[in-house]
């Protein structure tokens, strides 16, 4: 069953008087529990596609359906709520809140869902333990290495047990050892929890971790 | 709703605690200064008004004044009225005054002024003029041929230093000639010069009641006014009501009623100045806070984008910035309050010297609360506007910083 369905998706940006066609009619389905890689050269539209699917941006035209629901019709508040309850995000530059400690960055989300503080903290600590950061709970992001920060971001993406995790080149700023560790972590979480993971990558060696690769060229998709 | 507030508060406290301490402390300091500025001028004005009120009660009118009935020049049977008033509950003491027009001469200087007679023993219990002798001594009941004059009446040898026409710098012990309107002309020795710094009082001339009887040539049982000192712990309005209930037929006015017209315009002008200062201070506070929060939110633009991306509602984010400015505002106001209290203590010990008297700071609780509330509202506005502007941006635009 398709957890994400994209049909005739177009995204046109205005750059001054010039229209930039970032997506030119992408159509694809992602099945529940899949670990999908989106690959393609720089400027091909990978990130734009991910942003449309993950409700971080609105397409110029086309349809995005998540779990059978047309998310195009949602208001900004509904989209925010949807992201909180159904999606997890991992960004290339970690995107942690600098004033929050490791555990605060993670338990912020269950707290925002209205879960009790103790439950939120316990869940955050449990997940941070899984990603090997039990000894870094009260550290601020600036006190962590790049690899550690990315693991905090993964823990944050996992903490609400989202249906889908969107990862935008999560290993781009990491060395090969940390990249491998992060990819193994994603694979492990995908296999253990059956969560759908959509990840952008431009490294061919990452392909072995993906169930399927969607290649994007000039704003159009080509699957392998 | 409660969860939203909890998250906003959680974010606000952590952002305040862990963001630039210098910036936060500087902002708190600015708010403290703005609050001090808002209160300081109004408290100086309040102090001036308070001084005017004190001078009016202590040197000019006392607490209550009794005047002759409408269209009648004198209060007759003054001695019995004084005795009657002295027996009224709430009255500490009454003193009668009688005025007679005169011209005063010293060498080539001549000024026209009414000479006022009182019983010095009564007067001492009603006003504090006797405590303000610049030189010489206050009158006694037995004094004959002696006069006490105000500082402005005595004047200066250098006329350019005088506010009013004067006797050209007379001193205690000098002799002046007083020509009364009843034709009597007499030389008087200046027994003392008083300086209350209230111009209404310092341009007066007093002699004893016995001396006035000698000038008039008959026992005097008339007066132009009775000054009444009320007992501590009573209000003038209460005592006035009691006096009326005791059958006082003359006009009875509290000092506020009597002096109202005298000070209303000054107070109104002071209030206009005060309101302008208050508005300017508030505008400064809003602009300063707005700039600081704008810089802070622009600096945190990416973070705001991230929070929105991971599912934190923009209202929660805006609320967290408003809470931050609210906390900054409250801390600033608290520090400003401490500064004001220190200034009050300082100026109580070392009052500001004005020509009309020494002014201490006088802060009305109402003005303090009003200023604090206005500043808190300003903080909320200054926090809300920039935060909402950034928080309403597209997620990806905000995340790009």
Cβ contact B162:B218 at 8 Å: no
Mean pLDDT of the region B336-351? 93
User: Tell me: the pLDDT tens digits for B110-133?
Assistant: 999 999 999 999 999 999 999 999
> Over the range B171-197, which residues count as b (16 or more CB within 10 Å of their CB) and which as e?
ebebebebbbeeeeebebebbbbbbbb
List, for residues A175-200, the tens digit of each pLDDT value. Answer: 888 888 888 988 988 888 888 999 99
- Residue A27: its pLDDT value, please? 94
Are the beta carbons of A9 and A52 closer than 8 angstroms? yes
Model confidence at B262, pLDDT cuts 50, 70, 90, reads: low
Q: Chain B residues with CB inside 8 Å of A109's CB?
A: 310-311
Chosen for mutation from B309, B312, B399 (greatest number of chain A CBs closer than 10 Å) is: B309
Q: Which two tokens stand for residue A95?
A: 């995107």
What per-residue confidence (pLDDT) applies to A45? 92
What is the tens place of the pLDDT at every residue in B220-238?
999 999 999 999 999 999 9
Q: Which residue has the tokens 């490791």?
A: A102
Report the pLDDT value the prediction gives residue B261, as an integer from 0 to 100. Answer: 66
Report DSSP letters for A59-98, one per residue: -SEEEEEETTEEGGG--HHHHHHHHHHHEEEE-TT----T
Residue A223 predicted with pLDDT over 70: no
Q: In chain A, what is the straight-line distance between the N-terminal and C-terminal CA atoms, in Å?
A: 19
B102 CA to centre of own chain: 34
Other beta carbons within 10 Å of B124: 18
Structure tokens at B178: 């007083």
CB contact under 8 A, A111 and B308: no
In total, the C-beta contacts within 8 angstroms joining chain A to chain B are 69
pLDDT of residue A142: 94
Phi, psi of B110 (to 5 degrees): -140, 130
pLDDT-wise least confident of A86-90, A171-175, B113-117, B369-373 = A171-175
Sequence spans of domains, chain B:
2-57+262-399, 69-249
Residues ≥6 apart with Cβ < 8 Å to A126? none
Q: Which residues of A touch B (CB under 8 A)?
A: 51, 56-57, 76-77, 80-81, 83-85, 87, 89, 91, 95-100, 104, 108-109, 111-112, 114, 140, 156
Mean pLDDT, residues A143-167: 92
Chain A residues touching residue B314 (CB < 8 angstroms): 76, 80
Q: What local confidence, expressed as pLDDT, does residue A194 receive? A: 87
Q: Is it the case that residue B80 has pLDDT exceeding 80?
A: yes
With CA atoms as reference, the chain A residue closest to B12 would be A99
CA dihedral for B164, B170, B173, B179, sign (positive or negative) = negative
CA distance B356 to B366: 26
Find which of B310, B313, B314 to mutate to test the A interface (most A CBs within 10 Å of its CB): B310
Residue A175 confidence (pLDDT):
83
Q: Are A71 and B275 in contact (CB under 8 A)?
A: no
Judge whether B19 is closer than 8 Å to chain A, CB to CB: yes
Return mean pLDDT, chain A: 91
Chain A residues whose beta carbon lies within 8 Å of the beta carbon of residue B321: none
Q: Are B198 and B357 in contact (CB under 8 A)?
A: yes
DSSP of B119-169: -HHHHHTT--GGGGEEEE----TT--SEEEEEHHHH--SSGGG-SS---SS
Band (B269; pLDDT cuts 50, 70, 90): confident
pLDDT, mean of residues B289-305: 83
Percentage of residues of chain B with pLDDT beyond 90? 59
pLDDT tops 60 at residue A224:
no
Q: Specify the residue for token string 């690769």.
A: A213
Buried b / exposed e along B17-29 (16+ C-beta atoms within 10 A): ebbeeeebeebbe
Q: In angstroms, what CA-CA distances link B400 with B41, B95, B387?
A: 47, 83, 17
* A2-223 CATH choice from 3.90.1150.10, 3.30.70.260, 1.20.1250.20, 3.40.50.300: 3.40.50.300
Give dist(CA A143, CA A146) in Å, integer: 10
Contact assignment for A83 to B396 by CB distance below 8 Å: no
Contact B190, B136 (CB under 8 A): yes
Query: Looking at the predicted structure, is the pLDDT value of residue B20 above 90?
Result: no
- Taking an 8 Å cut-off on Cβ atoms, the answer to whether B314 and A76 are in contact is yes
What gap in Å lies between CA B212 and CA A200, rounded to an integer?
Answer: 109
Kindly report the pTM of this predicted structure.
0.75
Q: How far is B310 from chain A (nearest CA, A)?
A: 6
**pLDDT reported for residue B12:** 94
CB contact under 8 Å between A104 and B14, yes or no, is yes
At B77, the pLDDT band (50, 70, 90 cuts) reads very high
Given B307, B313, B394, which is nearest A97 (Cβ)? B307
Question: CA-to-CA distance for B99 and B206, rounded, in angstroms?
Answer: 9
Q: Is the pLDDT of residue B218 over 60?
A: yes
CB atoms within 10 A of CB B1: 5
């Amino acid at each position: 069953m398709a957890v994400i369905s994209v049909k005739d998706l177009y995204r046109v940006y205005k750059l001054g008087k010039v229209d930039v066609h970032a997506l030119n009619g992408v159509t694809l389905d992602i099945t529940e529990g899949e670990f999908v890689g989106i690959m393609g050269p720089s400027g091909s539209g990978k990130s734009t596609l991910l942003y449309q699917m993950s409700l971080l941006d609105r397409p110029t035209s086309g349809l995005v359906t998540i779990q059978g629901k047309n998310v195009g019709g949602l208001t900004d508040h509904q989209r925010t709520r949807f992201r909180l309850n159904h999606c997890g995000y991992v960004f290339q530059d970690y995107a942690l809140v600098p004033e929050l400690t490791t555990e605060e960055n993670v338990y912020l989300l269950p707290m925002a869902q209205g879960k009790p503080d103790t439950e939120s903290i316990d869940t955050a600590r449990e997940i941070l333990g899984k990603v090997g950061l039990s000894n870094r709970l009260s550290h601020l992001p600036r006190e962590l290495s790049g690899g550690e920060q990315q693991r905090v971001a993964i823990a944050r993406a996992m903490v609400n047990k989202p249906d889908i995790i969107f990862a935008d080149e999560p290993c781009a700023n990491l060395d090969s050892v940390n990249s491998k560790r992060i990819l193994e972590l994603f694979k492990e979480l995908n296999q253990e929890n059956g969560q759908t993971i959509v990840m952008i990558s431009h490294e061919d060696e990452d392909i072995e971790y993906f169930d399927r690769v969607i290649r994007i060229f000039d704003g159009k998709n080509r699957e392998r | 709703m409660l969860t939203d507030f909890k998250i906003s508060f959680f974010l606000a406290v952590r952002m305040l605690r862990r963001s630039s301490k210098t910036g936060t402390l500087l902002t708190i300091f600015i708010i403290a200064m703005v609050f001090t500025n808002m209160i300081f001028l109004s408290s100086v004005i309040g102090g001036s008004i308070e001084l005017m009120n004190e001078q009016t009660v202590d040197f000019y009118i006392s607490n209550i004044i009794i005047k002759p009935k409408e269209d009648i020049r004198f209060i007759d049977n003054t001695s019995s009225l004084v005795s009657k008033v002295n027996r009224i509950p709430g009255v500490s003491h009454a003193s009668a005054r009688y005025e007679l027009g005169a011209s005063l001469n010293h060498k080539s200087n001549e000024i026209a002024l009414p000479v006022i007679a009182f019983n010095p023993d009564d007067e001492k219990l009603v006003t504090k003029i006797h405590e303000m002798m610049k030189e010489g001594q206050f009158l006694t009941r037995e004094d004959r041929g002696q006069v006490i004059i105000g500082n402005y009446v005595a004047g200066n040898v250098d006329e350019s230093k005088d506010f009013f026409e004067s006797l050209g710098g007379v001193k205690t012990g000098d002799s002046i000639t007083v020509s009364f309107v009843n034709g009597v002309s007499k030389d008087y020795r200046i027994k003392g010069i008083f300086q209350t710094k209230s111009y209404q009082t310092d341009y007066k001339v007093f002699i004893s009641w016995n001396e006035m009887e000698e000038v008039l040539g008959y026992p005097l049982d008339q007066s132009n006014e009775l000054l009444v000192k009320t007992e501590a712990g009573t209000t003038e309005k209460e005592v006035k009501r009691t006096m009326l209930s005791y059958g006082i037929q003359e006009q009875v006015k509290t000092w506020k009623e009597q002096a109202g017209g005298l000070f209303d315009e000054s107070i109104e002008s002071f209030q206009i100045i005060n309101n302008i200062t208050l508005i300017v201070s508030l505008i400064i506070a809003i602009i300063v806070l707005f700039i600081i929060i704008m810089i802070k939110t622009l600096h945190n633009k990416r973070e705001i984008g991230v929070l929105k991306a991971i599912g934190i509602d923009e209202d929660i984010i805006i609320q967290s910035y408003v809470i931050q400015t609210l906390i900054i505002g409250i801390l600033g106001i608290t520090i400003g309050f401490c500064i004001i209290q220190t200034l009050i203590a300082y100026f109580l010990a070392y009052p500001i010297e004005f020509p009309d008297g020494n002014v201490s700071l006088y802060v009305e609780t109402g003005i303090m609360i009003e200023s604090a509330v206005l500043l808190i509202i300003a903080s909320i506005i200054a926090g809300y506007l920039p935060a909402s502007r950034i928080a309403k941006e597209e997620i990806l635009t905000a995340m790009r910083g």
